[in-house]
Amino acid sequence: MKTLALTTAATLMATTAAIAQVETRTVTFQNEGSTLSGTVYLPEGYSSGKLPMVVVTGAWTSVQEQMPANYAREMAERGFAAFTFDFRGWGKSGDLPSNVRFVESPQAKTSDIRAAIKFVSTLPEVNALQINGLGICASAGYMVDAVSGNPLVQSVGLVAPWLQNEQIVKTVYGGADGVAGLVNMSRAAEAAGGQVIPAAGPEGAEGVLMPIGGYYYEADRGAIPEYDNKWNNAGWEGWLTYHPADNPTRLDKPLAIVHSEAAAIPQGVRTFLQGFAGKATAKWLEDVSQFDFYDNPEDVERAADTVADHFRAAPKS
């Protein structure tokens, strides 16, 4: 049943969106001298009034038309306004400083999320007292950083969060020697002005960031025309030295997490929750892979239900 659902995920998502008649509007906003491209999602039949807003961000290397769009539609179907955007250096947005693109920079992406939150607070459809953040996979840490201490944000939800620390980084990336080698590669690439390689490829491919096939490589899933499918090796050092799992105390918003033991690095989620002193809802789904959370309709719907309920229950400012 799971395999059948995955093979038809894109079709079902498209069908659901068509039935729901979610309204979208393309917009732009500014951050640190660059123009970013975003999309506003509104519920079917919306005509006027102020709606609660959910800013949605996706996995590393992703563009807004991938998993962020799936969750934005789900939020709009549940009565929220939603917003997705391309980070600087990705998709339709402008460059990072020095015309750099395709760098997975936690610092830059966190800054972009803060700018997006400020931007949506000015939209006529948005209740500026009810803005929420939803981070998926790698952007979960960025979202936590962007909303912590941010008076514009009411609550935060994380789906399939990739929350790493030094121990997890060493486990995933080949131990201390493997990490050191990637850091050296990063510094060399940065000195050369960047070194761009394919982000996704078939299982076992060489010279590819993710030689595993699956979501990013399949045309009916994440390998959509809008996807850059690029990775700049200059980004390795910033990524590997980013340890959001060890910094839960900075988060001062109500939190909901949806994850699975079958998805990526669940130990990072447990570490984060152990150190989080605030109000948290944790929903653990059985036998859901990381990619399932991106576009498998059943799993996306269950995750969206959980975070939407959490946003509705958050104390109103």
Q: What is the pLDDT of residue 14?
A: 42
Is residue 236 domain-resident?
A: no
Check: CB of residue 28 under 8 Å from CB of residue 35. yes
Is residue 181 domain-resident?
A: no
- What is the phi-psi region of residue 26: left when phi exceeds 0, alpha when psi lies from -120 to 50, beta otherwise? beta
Q: The tokens of 11 are what? A: 């079709």
- Give the tens place of pLDDT for each residue, 102-156: 999 999 999 999 999 999 999 999 999 999 999 999 999 999 999 999 999 999 9
Is residue 225 domain-resident?
A: no
Q: What is the pLDDT of residue 9?
A: 47
In the chain, what percentage of residues exceed pLDDT 90? 92
Is residue 184 domain-resident?
A: no
Is residue 299 domain-resident?
A: yes
Mean pLDDT of all residues belonging to the chain:
94
Q: Is 185 helix (H, G, I), strand (E, B) or coil?
A: helix
CATH no. for residue 249?
3.40.50.1820
The structure's pTM equals: 0.93
- What is the phi-psi region of residue 204: left when phi exceeds 0, alpha when psi lies from -120 to 50, beta otherwise? left
DSSP string across 254-316: -EEEEE-TTSS-HHHHHHHHHH--S-EEEEE-TT--HHHHHH-HHHHHHHHHHHHHHHHHSPP
Please count the structural domains in the chain: 1
Range of the domain at 33: 2-165+243-313
Is residue 208 domain-resident?
A: no
Is residue 23 domain-resident?
A: yes
- Residue 7 CA to residue 260 CA, distance in Å, equals 20
Is residue 188 domain-resident?
A: no
Check: CB of residue 121 under 8 Å from CB of residue 152. yes
